[in-house]
Structure 1
Amino acid sequence: MRNPLIGPILDILRTHPEGVGEFEILKTLKQQLPELKNIATDPNLQLFRQHFLIMNALYQLQSSLWQEESLTLSISATHIRILPSEQVPLTNSKELNNSVDVKLAAYYLDWNEYEKTNEEAVTRLLDSFYQGIYQTDDREAALATLQLTRKSPSKDEIKRQYRKLAHQTHPDRGGDTEAFISLRHAYECLMF
């Protein structure tokens, strides 16, 4: 299925020959196409769908530019740009099927991925991402930093303890900046 965002995204790329980030594309598309704001009621699912539609359009555009114009579209989250084919850096992968770019393109070009991803799936993706950031050792260190003795304190207990210790170490109250930052890091770790 041809993605209806290809035309508007091509216009955005035309106005940014130096390249543009995905966030800027999304921001511009939401101004031009208000219906993009209503593709899901859950904010995380809505963001996933917006992202997926943009990436699907970019990979479709990448394929057609290559085949029809001998141009390519360099795609990363922070910089998307149309380039002559000779300016495109080649992947370090020895096998084309194993390159990250090919795997990403295959994922985003598969409409089944869009259709099957619901609110629960997005929540699982986010949870696994956050758990990947904070490993078990980090969690134990965070508990020690916040002087929490229970292995599974409630979010309210974490918040109360953080506020108590942050009040004591806050730099504006003459406390230690490093200690305050450590407390905040521990708090962020435990709140996921």
Structure 2
Amino acid sequence: MENPFIEPIFELLLNTQQPLKIHDIGQALKPLQQAQLDDDPNSHLFKLNFLIMNALYQLQDELINEYYLQVSSLHIELLVKPERDIQLVNTSTTHNLKAYYLDWQNYLTSNEEIAQLLAQFWQQFQQQPTQPSNLSEQQALELFQLNEDATFAEIKQRWRELALIYHPDRGYQSPEKFKQYHAAWQALKNIHVCIS
């Protein structure tokens, strides 16, 4: 299968002087997206991210003699290789990700499998250590538009809804809004973990 994003992403990398994030590339490619990749919003987002990562890893291989293309969701950067070639660390996680995104069969992942991957992502995301939030419980609940008697299950559901709307990968223009909701989630999660 031919990936239509390879050339536009290469042009973007050549013309960008700073590292990019995956959502930056997604935003830059919006004018090229002529059709929805899938009717299901989660599947559409999965397929868009798959095409971007696939293009990046193909470019990484194609450009290996002249450039080093660093690929991670939060840091994508094209660097000219120095005269003396640098030794690159190839961790098994990086290798596994690359193998996953270069296998076109994974582009056809079912909606059920995408839902499982999304659930795993949320589980890992919630287990990550975070900065303490300065928000009080009342402020966080107000930000989430929930009553003071909201259960932890309701808070968790509201966080997921807001994160899916405001996450930068979803095309929302202001990462600050997502950071506010994330801080509120951290405050509420920490309070409820302490109570249980």
- Bucket of the pairwise TM-score, normalised by the shorter protein: 0.5 to 0.7
Question: CA shift at 1:100, angstroms?
Answer: 2.0
Count of residues paired in the alignment:
143
Aligned CA RMSD, in angstroms, stands at: 3.3
CA distance in 2, matches of 1:17, 1:133: 30
Identity of aligned residues (%): 35
Cα distance change on mapping 1:88 and 1:19 into 2, 3 Å: farther
Mapped partners of 1:103, 1:83: distance in 2 = 22
Partners of 1:183 and 1:11 in 2: how far apart? 41
* Residue of structure 2 aligned with 1:162, choices 143, 146, 150: 150
| 2:98 matches 1:105 | yes
CA distance in 2, matches of 1:124, 1:133: 14
Match of 2:44 among 43, 46, 62: 46
1:41 alignment partner, SS class: coil
Aligned partner of 1:121 among 113, 131, 134: 113
Q: Measured at CA, do residues 89 and 19 of structure 1 come closer, stay the same or move farther in structure 2, by a change above 3 Å?
A: farther
Q: CA separation of 1:2/1:72 partners in 2, compared to 1, >3 Å: closer, same or farther?
A: farther
Residues 1:83 and 2:76 aligned together: no
1:26, CA displacement in angstroms? 0.2
TM-score, length basis structure 2: 0.61
Match of 1:185 in 2: 189
Q: How many Å apart are 1:89 and its aligned residue?
A: 6.6
Query: TM-score, structure 1 length as denominator?
Result: 0.62
Structure ranking higher in helix proportion: 1
Instruction: Indicate the structure whose relative CO is greater, using CA pairs within 8 Å and at least 6 residues apart.
Output: 2
Gap regions ≥5 residues in structure 1: 136-157, 167-179
| Uncovered stretches (5+) of structure 2, i.e. residues with no partner | 128-145, 156-183
Task: Say which one has the larger Rg.
Answer: 1
Encode CA deviations 1:136-185: one digit per residue, 9 max, x unaligned: xxxxxxxxxxxxxxxxxxxxxx978318xx9xxxxxxxxxxxxx978732
